[in-house]
Structure 1
């Protein structure tokens, strides 16, 4: 990689007295501290260096992702690490990071549930990084402890929970939140001290989730000692919504009686199509069989900001626990996950007492502790950036961003529908468009669609998602646009679709396969 750039970073200030060992004590510049009264001034020139490096790297990249192969990118990283030394290193490495990034702010970067964060949220996150509070005890984060509690009360109310009865915590994302929901389900049904190997033979703990549920459900079952095979997958319809009749059949099957079903996981916003399971129907069945209902709304939870889309989540208030992720349809830098439980009493098995963090007499004296709300100990106050965003933009402002992304998905779907070479899988629900380059032969279709996506990556033209529909055999590979940039224009969407078509036509076996326009 070329061009190291010049540095304007402040050098450690001279003139400081040396200790007896002869080594100067750091008092500024790169060796200064970010906290205290002098912290902002120590940060200012270094932040300028980072911003300059980010701008230079984005200019060099010139598109949604660095062009080249993985091996070429790794070689560029090694070269930059070898060259970056001294005061100029910070700008050099920031430039490397930006140049070698997939930039979700670029309209052609549309593969994943990976949002371009709002500048206000990033600025708020800088404050957290500078102060470095940890929320495992009140005396490390007095204001942040109170702020998270206030924010969680607001979010609990937004999903229909009673704030005075609910409990929750900020998490690293849906994977951690889903683990927490299923942990509480296990503890409520079997008890927190259960020895799974000692259960009677007719008690086989099971979890029901759709075929389109997130893979973290299986991972959580394994971590909880239930085993991945404890997750029974329920068939879905074409939009990838759970089939309530199939769920009822799963409850009724021999060996899957409600007495051994710990939980049902409903998905509000599947990763591939953004589909929302029929929440009321699922809640009815879970209640009938005494199963915990966990709703994974890591993606779809953003619809709660939108008057237009919020009705999709009707019934989420009947859940026992909910996952939300504001680093998806909330435009926060990761991590910004949220876990909510409808009843605080169900949180009892997570309670912990560490005498050096939350001694009982401190709590009796009015010093609160969040230690028993999380699976983690050291935990940064990720609630701050979301609270700042909500106060600056308001719920209506975030709702407008959700609506723009939904509108872009509808526009992109129409472009796919009217492009002869492409085939739309289903209408968008949230902000995701699933489609493929049309090739009659199933195996050929899979090769062409997988190949065109890699070609777009290699040339740095676009980052398009890849998925596979449920089932078996060839013909299931699909392309996916996850549209989370509210500033993307219709012309930019058309350019992205054109890039997909051009890359498809260049694939072996793709010519002459266009379907008639409809």
Structure 2
């Protein structure tokens, strides 16, 4: 059977025509988006999706694209709009989108050489390039992953198995892993990413194996507190398997004091993992690279190109200082990557990955570097950091708001403060939540929320160089307008 929909030599022209139609429709949407979100609610949109009869295909691709416009494109959240200020979602650069189109059509799988060939070498070259930018040394290696959570998981798996090997070397080779695991501990910043705790659970340690190290007023891990915890673990016969430091926390963009933390890890012989999923954009920054000083001493590093390299999801990697540690992720399957291939030096990426089938996501970064260069990416990241710095000054001078911390990267966490000083904190919490919901419902802006010391706050994550200071000021005015009206109505009702 010859299907007209199967991509091959006979359908190449249909492929060109169909994909071009899809590109035209998306381009038209992008050109005319006037707000980041329409404000559609789940009860409004769900019935339209549920009504689709998936057992009855549409007549042609044009009909399917028209339907997709109603179900998705019309109400999508558009990260390229300058008033999308919520999560760590970046607008994407065109060279990366070109890479996405190419890799999807060819559909290479990056697990073995005989499925990817040049794709394998391109990914390996990009890993080497990233390791060089970090400064991990000639023994470094790594692999692309689906995102920061998976990168953190793999790094901590390697740290776990290295810690188990060290315990066996010291206490006896006959010790079983199950006997060692209850003694292992991970020390992480109290403001670090939740994926560290999830990884501990997945790795058989349990959530309680993660010790949260207190942060200072800048929301950075306190080295003195870390030193105290390391000493306590040593006294109690527990094993600190890893310290998970952060270079760009999700809520505050804070960068832990990496040189001091690295010194403590070296002194205690503890694996240092640096989660630079957000802060990795500094690797190509012309003016802020020094903020990552100390990262070169890490044993493993997480980078998310799809956060601060302006790449489409997904594009991430985990890097290690010593490529030999990747053996803990290796499994040789006779049908896929038998041991003889390693002896023959055939480069199979599955030998160092938690995934088997894996997209050629590296192509997006490759084309970005080849077309716009590392300096071009760095300029964009510096620009969003500059914009956040200006936004912080705006917030710090505005009596309507209190801002938590001056940003090191591009995140602003703040809170609307009622003009009436007698208003209880709970009312301010509700007012901030209401303002966020009102903006989303109107679609005029999308902002994030979080809790700081138990109180509700709002968050701007500035990752769009097109976001101007005027955009930030306008969204702040909208927040104050919604929150003030909510407080006023609440006080009238309470009177």
TM-score if structure 1 supplies the norm length? 0.87
Report the counterpart of residue 195 of structure 2 in structure 1: 216
Question: For the structure 1 residues 223 and 460, does the alpha-carbon distance in structure 2 shift closer, same or farther, using more than 3 Å as the test?
Answer: same
Q: Which residue of 1 aligns with 2:49?
A: 77
Q: Which residue of 1 aligns with 2:397?
A: 418
Write 1 or 2 for the structure with the bigger share of helix.
2
Instruction: Look up the SS of the partner of 1:506 in the other structure.
Output: helix
Asked if 1:86 corresponds to 2:63, the answer is: no
- Report the Cα offset of residue 248 of structure 1: 1.2
Q: Structure 2 vs 1, CA of residues 322 and 45 (structure 1 numbering), >3 Å: closer, same or farther?
A: same
Number of the residue aligned with 1:14: none
* Contact preservation (8 Å) 2:233, 2:239: no
Structure 2: unaligned runs, 5 residues or longer? 169-173
How far is 1:506 from its partner? 2.6
Q: Root-mean-square deviation (CA), in Å?
A: 2.4
What corresponds to 1:204 in structure 2? 183
1:331-350 superposed matches below 5 A = 331-350=310-329
Query: How far apart are residue 271 of structure 1 and its match?
Result: 0.4
Which residue among 7, 17, 26 is the counterpart of 1:45?
17
Mapping of residues 234-383 of structure 1, within 5 Å: 234-253=213-232, 260-383=239-362
1:106 aligned residue (64, 73, 81): 81
CA offset at residue 489 of structure 1?
2.5
Does residue 449 (structure 1) correspond to residue 449 (structure 2)? The answer is no
For residues 49-198 of structure 1, the aligned pairs below 5 Å read: 49-55=21-27, 57=29, 62-79=34-51, 85-87=58-60, 88-95=62-69, 96-162=71-137, 164-191=138-165, 195-198=176-179
Structure 1 runs (4+) deviating above 6 angstroms are 80-84
CA distance 1:268–1:489, shift in 2 (3 Å)? same
Q: What secondary structure sits across from 1:86 in the alignment?
A: coil
Deviation of the 1:411 alpha carbon = 2.0
Shift of 1:504: 1.8
Alignment of 1:26 onto 2:26: no
8 Å Cα contact 2:286/2:379 also seen in 1? no
CA separation of 1:40/1:257 partners in 2, compared to 1, >3 Å: closer, same or farther? farther
* 1:509 positional shift: 4.5
| Secondary structure class of the residue paired with 1:248 | helix
Summarize the Cα distance change of 1:209–1:78 in structure 2 as closer, same or farther, 3 Å threshold.
same
Give the structure 1 partner of residue 171 of structure 2.
Answer: none
Q: What is the rounded CA distance, in whole Å, between the counterparts of 1:125 and 1:258 in structure 2?
A: 50
1:451 offset after TM fit, Å? Answer: 1.3
Residue pair 1:80, 1:92 contacting (<8 A) in 2 also = no
Cα 1:195–1:244 change in 2 (3 A) is: same
Q: Contact 2:136 / 2:298 at 8 angstroms: preserved in 1?
A: no
Larger deviation, residues 56-65 vs 370-379: 56-65
Within 2, Cα distance between the matches of 1:314 and 1:257?
32
Separation (CA, whole Å) in 1 of partners of 2:307 and 2:280: 9
Return closer, same or farther for 1:510/1:278 CA change in 2, 3 Å cut-off.
Answer: farther
Closer, same or farther in 2 for the Cα pair 1:362/1:197, shift >3 Å?
closer
CA distance in 2, matches of 1:422, 1:382: 41
How many equivalent residue pairs?
A: 477
Deviation, 1:460, is 1.1
In structure 2, the CA distance between the partners of 1:257 and 1:129, relative to structure 1 (3 Å rule), is farther
Paired residues of 1:111 and 1:463 also in contact (CA < 8 A): yes
- Structure 1 residue 66, shift from structure 2 partner: 2.2
Contact 2:247 2:276 (8 Å CA) reproduced: yes
Shifted more, 428-437 versus 346-355: the winner is 346-355
Separation (CA, whole Å) in 1 of partners of 2:24 and 2:117: 34
d(CA) in 1 for partners of 2:342, 2:160: 28
Deviation at 1:240, TM superposition (A): 1.1
Higher RCO (CA-CA < 8 Å; seq separation 6+): 2
Q: Which sits farther off after the overlay, 289-298 or 491-500?
A: 491-500
SS in 2 for 1:507: helix
Residue by residue, what CA displacement relative to the aligned partner does 1:203-258 show, whole Å, maximum 9, x if unpaired? 61100001101000000000000000000001111221001111111112267758
> 1:91: how far off?
1.2
Secondary structure of 2:486 counterpart:
coil
CA positional deviation for 1:420: 2.8
